[in-house]
Amino acid sequence: MSQPLDNSTNYDIASALKQEGLKLDDYKEICRRLDRPPNRAELGMFGVMWSEHCCYRNSRSLLNGFPTKGPRILVGPGENAGVVDLGEGQRLAFKIESHNHPSAIEPFQGAATGVGGILRDIFTMGARPIALLNSLRFGPLDDKNNISLLQGIVSGIAHYGNCVGVPTVGGEIAFDPSYSGNPLVNAMALGLMETTEIVCSGAKGIGYSVLYVGSTTGRDGMGGASFASSELTKESIDDRPAVQVGDPFLEKGLIEACLEAFKSGDVIAAQDMGAAGLTCSCSEMAAKGNVGIELDLDLVPAREVGMTAYEFLLSESQERMLFVVKPGSEQRLIDSFKRWGLCAGVVGKVLEDKVVRVLQNRQIAAEIPAAALADDTPINKHELLTQPPSEVKDAWSWNESQLPRLSSSGISSLLSNSKKTDVTWNEILLMLLDDPTIASKSWIYQQYDYQVQANTIIPPGGADAAVIRLRSQDDNDYSSRKERGIAAVVDCPNRWAFLDPERGAMAAVAEAARNLSCVGAEPLAVTDNLNFPSPETSKGYWQLASSCKGLAKACIALNTPITGGNVSLYNETRLSDGTLQPIHPTPVVGMVGLIDQLSNVRGQAWLSENDSIWLIGIPLEQLNSDEKRITLGGSSYLERIHGIVSGRPPEIDLTLESLVQSFVRKGISENYINSAHDISDGGLSVALAEACISSGLGASIQLPNSEVRIDRMLFAEGGARILVSISSENLSSWEDFIAETIPVDSGVFAAQKIGKVTLAANLLISQGSSTLIDLSVQKLKTCFNQAIPSRVEFQ
């Protein structure tokens, strides 16, 4: 029999609390819940479970406003991943998660294990991972450190995803000085359910065995969850042991073995060991099942000798899972995991008594009521500003009259460089295409295997969203219907979120849905990743609260419930002068959509010569400065050309978004539309250039004569706008379709013919008799494709 609890408290409370990232009030609360002081191992368990990473102590009250239910939502927030019903017996699990802090100090392994972790969230539910996406942020590429972070993180993602055999089909990347030293790595995974029942994490069955499967437990990744919940400093490099080391080869076996085990029906509950390792999986499984769990550390496969209970409990060694299994099935399951070269063994049992009891050397090393760890976790209360901070209000006061004079040939001067005068529109467009945030990301996505599994319909770079066919990997029946697909996208306009966190968050949702609509997919649901600076400053908390409000509003309006996600706070770097550099608020939206007919998928490239080019959304003539839904404020043009991050980003009109998007989806499903591309960073001219670059065809565009500033016409952003091309034989039925669908003078939106696709590979934009832009597609392409390689490849 085990000996009573080791309740020694011979540790220095103040330094232990600091190490665990806990406050004195937390300690008092722990003592109250336990009715005694915790021992050191128990304190460590509370430290990780009560970190922002595990319990959302700063953000929980803000997340309550999210819409989480809908007819298609099978599993919402709280489980390992969200699950949506796709109809026809298919269900999709998906989730996004960050690995920002680990990637900042150990880019390769930090990013690799970020991928491994999100994959486990998916297959723990009984779903086979079918696609990966990622959202990345870096500081500018003129700094060697940022280049090496980019190289390390991209190869880490490639290493893990490529080896494990899940295609990385899409993503987004942006560069801004605020991310120097604190890059963001958000990985999203999608999986197709292969089991009849969704595998959940609540333990059941008193006396049933707890089975440990996967890799061994070592000292790597100690306390990663608490480390992820504090700011980065120069000394953070010393925390490198808190970064785990991933083994995608083991994970590949773990996927196969777990799916086999789940299909056998022998597994009652499953929980992966991610943040906070054994502590988190035991307490979550116990608390959710309203039971207890006993864990004998002497039975846990260890990769090192002499590990203390504290180290076992807080280790974040990768590729490990915990199951509760049916009595009698233990040996069968163990054999099946061993076949894949994995560890497997019974390490404990389910208890009626609702405690997490940890044994080591026949002594109770820790014993905590499961609810004390996992339920009613502390909330940090913050005062919410009633007004935007003054620097934000100042930025909003910027207006276009502060820009230099312009003419049809260009702009008289640049605010960023007084020596440069009379800059042509051609030069400006090329400068925008050379902006790494806008430019081609092929240097990055070619390092990812985006084709494995033989379902990738639209590879990265081909359209506004990635598209994969829905086909089970077990299904070899070629004759059955396999015409349905899933579209997925990640998005976040961080510059807008910085200038206006609510509008930025709304825009992230709106653009993600617009991207899905452009390929012809019906948006279904969202997973969100809130990357923010410290919530402990009034501005930081205001940014977080405003973004959450924006996300909630937009997800409600666009009918895309949030099924879960991740919160990453304290993304800031302490600079050498002692000041803190916070990141731009970055509420990343991952969205999935359903495609009923894969033959109806559209790319962004023009298809054929003489197709007419149309602009859907707010028409160009309406772009006077009273129109707040389209603006140069917060635009790429303003930042890249004039060196200003200011102004107020566009107002997000969700009714307009919804109408424009459903109009385009309908136009696609009825086969009028040949290509569709949303207008995003860099405005109309960049969107046109991208459609030319993807197709190799040219375009001839005639802008309406108007009083509107030319740079506003060419480069302003916002307005739910989509570029489509229509073949000439469809033109009259398309015009009928417009007349039927958009009421005349609806005042909401219009479809406006602006030009045509040309065989001559030139982008020509004119207004009246003046030529504004005239560039060869080859020139556009070279500039667009070389922007990133020319900055990062070893010279």
Catalytic residues: 53, 99
452 lines the binding site for another protein (CB under 8 A): yes
CB of 636 to another protein, least distance (A): 28
- Does 450 participate in binding another protein (rule CB under 8 A)? yes
Choose among 500, 491, 590: nearest CA to 543. 500
Contact call for residue 122 and another protein (CB under 8 A): no
Residue 548, SS3 per DSSP: helix
Task: Give the range of 24-32, 386-394, 396-404, 441-449 binding another protein by CB under 8 A.
Answer: 441-449
**What is the rounded CA–CA span in Å between residue 256 and residue 235?**
40
Helix (H, G, I), strand (E, B) or coil at 680: coil
Q: Which is nearer to another protein, 197 or 474 (CB)?
A: 474
Closest distance between another protein and the C-beta of residue 263, in Å? 16
Residues facing 345 on adjacent strands: 212
* Binding window for another protein (CB under 8 A); candidates: 74-82, 448-456, 644-652, 659-667: 448-456
What token pair was written down for 252? 């590949």
When asked if residue 299 is in the footprint of another protein (CB under 8 A), the reply is: no
Q: Which stretch binds another protein (CB under 8 A): 93-101, 413-421, 468-476, 492-500?
A: 468-476
Considering only 469, 553, 648, 665, the residue that binds another protein (CB under 8 A) is: 469
| Residue owning tokens 């990812």 | 448
Under the binding rule (CB under 8 A), the answer on residue 327 touching another protein is: no
State in angstroms the smallest separation of the CB of 456 from another protein: 7
Q: Give the whole-angstrom CA distance, residue 746 versus residue 743.
A: 5
Between 159 and 756, CB nearer to another protein: 159
What is the smallest separation between the CB atom of 301 and another protein, expressed in angstroms? 18
Would you count residue 553 as binding another protein (CB under 8 A)?
no
For the beta sheet containing 355-360, the strands, ordered from the edge strand earlier in sequence to the opposite edge, are 3-5, 363-369, 355-360, 292-296, 343-351, 209-214, 320-325, 267-272
Produce one character per residue of 62-72: b if its CB has 16 or more CB atoms within 10 Å, e if not.
bbebbbbebeb
Least distance in angstroms from the C-beta of 794 to another protein: 9
Could you tell me which stretch among 92-100, 115-123, 160-168, 629-637 binds another protein (CB under 8 A)?
160-168
Both tokens of residue 5?
A: 């609890």
Torsion sign across C-alpha atoms 137, 56, 561, 524:
positive
155: contact with another protein by CB under 8 A? yes
CB of 247 or CB of 528, closer to another protein: 247
Tokens of 318: 């990768």
User: According to CB under 8 A, which one of 455, 566, 631, 695 is a site residue for another protein?
Assistant: 455
Interface with another protein includes 666 (CB under 8 A)?
no
User: Interface residues for another protein in 220-279 (CB under 8 A)?
Assistant: 247-250, 252-253
Q: Smallest distance, Å, CB 417 to another protein?
A: 34
What is the C-alpha to C-alpha distance for residues 313 and 143, in angstroms, rounded to an integer? 39
Length of the chain equals: 795
Cβ proximity to another protein, 107 vs 647, nearer residue? 107
Interface with another protein, residue 449, by CB under 8 A:
yes
Question: Whose CA is closest to 358, among 779, 42, 708?
Answer: 42
Question: What is d(CA 171, CA 157) in angstroms, rounded to the nearest whole number?
Answer: 12
Segment lying near another protein (by CB under 8 A), choices 228-236, 360-368, 445-453, 501-509: 445-453
| Rounded Cα gap, residues 623 and 722, in angstroms | 15
For another protein, the closer of residues 57 and 469 by Cβ is 469
CB of 519 vs another protein, minimal distance in Å: 15
User: How far from 518 is each of 32, 135, 605, 646, 755, CA to CA, in Å?
Assistant: 55, 20, 12, 29, 19
164 near another protein, rule: CB under 8 A = yes
For the chain, the straight-line distance linking the first and the last C-alpha, in angstroms and rounded, comes to 67
Question: What's the rounded Cα separation, in Å, for the pair 42 and 33?
Answer: 12
Does 448 help bind another protein (rule: CB under 8 A)? yes
Contact criterion met (CB below 8 Å) for 591 and 710? no
Closest among 319, 330, 352, 298 to 211, alpha carbons compared: 330
Q: Which of residues 332-371 bind another protein (CB under 8 A)?
A: 340-341
- Per-residue mark of binding to another protein, 395-434 (x: CB under 8 A): ----------------------------------------
Nearer to another protein, 471 or 712 (CB): 471
Choose between 250 and 508: whose C-beta lies nearer to another protein. 250
Whole-number minimum distance, CB 480 to another protein, in Å? Answer: 10
Question: Which range, of 170-178, 449-457, 712-720, 754-762, touches another protein by CB under 8 A?
Answer: 449-457
Judged by beta carbon, residue 589 or residue 601, the one nearer another protein is: 601
Stretch near another protein under the rule CB under 8 A, chosen from 84-92, 154-162, 610-618, 674-682: 154-162
| SS3 annotation, 334-387 | HHHHHHCCCEEEEEEEEECCCEEEEEECCEEEEEEEHHHHHCCCCCCCCCCCCC
Tell the smallest beta-carbon distance from residue 156 to another protein (Å): 12
**Maximum separation of any 2 CA atoms in the chain, in Å:** 93
Q: Is 717 exposed, middle or buried (0-12, 13-18, 19+ CB in 10 A)?
A: buried
Whose CA is closest to 116, among 301, 255, 277? 255
CB of 462 to another protein, least distance (A): 11
The residue from 37, 77, 140, 165 that contacts another protein (CB under 8 A) is 165
Instruction: Give whichever of 224 and 246 is closer to another protein, judged by the CB atom.
Output: 246
Query: In the set 387, 476, 579, 769, which binds another protein (CB under 8 A)?
Result: 476
Among 134, 236, 283, 453, binds another protein (CB under 8 A): 453
| CB-based contacts of 576, cutoff 8 Å, min separation 6 | 234
Please check whether residue 711 is in contact with residue 411, taking contact to mean a CB–CB distance below 8 angstroms.
Answer: yes
φ/ψ of 789, rounded to 5, equals -55, -40
Q: Taking a C-beta distance cutoff of 8 angstroms, is the pair 595, 482 a contact?
A: no
Name which position in 13, 16, 163, 607 contacts another protein (CB under 8 A).
163
Q: How far apart are CA 761 and CA 694, in angstroms?
A: 12
Q: CB of 217: closest distance to another protein in angstroms?
A: 19
Choose which of 454, 739, 759, 760 interacts with another protein (CB under 8 A). Answer: 454
Among 3, 446, 624, 778, binds another protein (CB under 8 A): 446
Residue type at position 44: G
Contact pick of 88, 477, 577, 740 for another protein (by CB under 8 A): 477
Q: Does 473 bind another protein (CB under 8 A)?
A: yes
- Least distance (Å) between residue 304 CB and another protein: 19
418/479 with CB nearer another protein: 479
Candidates 392, 393, 390, 389; CA nearest to 538 is 389
Binding-residue total with another protein (CB under 8 A): 34
Stretch that binds another protein, among 233-241, 471-479, 511-519, 623-631 (CB under 8 A): 471-479
What's CA 660's distance to the chain center, in Å? 24
In the block, which residue shows the tokens 């008193």?
Answer: 206
221 backbone φψ class: left, alpha, beta (φ>0; ψ -120 to 50):
left
Q: Which of residues 588-607 bind another protein (CB under 8 A)?
A: 598
CB of 468 to another protein, least distance (A): 10
302 DSSP 8-state letter: B
Computed on alpha carbons and rounded to an integer, the radius of gyration of the chain in Å comes to 27
**Where along the sequence are the contacts to another protein (CB under 8 A)?**
155, 158, 162-165, 247-250, 252-253, 340-341, 445-457, 469, 473, 476-478, 482, 598
